[in-house]
Amino acid sequence: MIHRERHEVDVCHLCGRTVPARLITQHHLTPKEKGGTHLEKVPLCKPCHKQIHATFSNAQLARELANLPLLRGAPQLQPFLRWIRKQKPDRNFRTVRSHDRPLSKRERRRYCGQQKRVSC
């Protein structure tokens, strides 16, 4: 008996690409730490999901971008979305955090401790 590997695919709700199911993650529209529930999730490809969290803080996501049309229209994501739509669907990419993304309290404490500055 021959077993064939099933190639399941899914669609990223942000970039619209059809990608292998292994590259799909669930994004909480309202971050869990900001009161989001398991009911408020959308499937995104890993590159899109990582880019969202590299670009925006959880506070920004909860306050300003708590639905899919707002995320799709975010000016900060437009260059990324134009680029990712041209990429092969089975690739995952390294993501670097945006310099414009505000630091969390934990990140500020860590950064300020390393900088040895009085005002941080």
The answer to the question of residue 1 being in a domain is no
Out of 19-23, 73-77, 108-112, which region has the weakest mean confidence (pLDDT)? 108-112
Full 3-state SS string of the chain: CCCCCCCCEEECCCCCCEEEHHHEEEEECCCHHHCCCCCCEEEEEHHHHHHHHHHCCHHHHHHHCCCHHHHHHCHHHHHHHHHHCCCCCCCCCCCCCCCCCCCCHHHHHHHHHHHCCCCC
Average pLDDT, the chain: 82
Check which CATH number belongs to the domain holding 90 and give it: 1.10.30
| pLDDT (0 to 100) of residue 2 | 45
Number of domains, the chain = 1
Domain residues for the domain of 105 are 9-115
Q: What is the pLDDT of residues 41-87, one digit of tens each?
A: 999 999 999 999 999 999 999 999 999 999 999 999 999 999 999 99
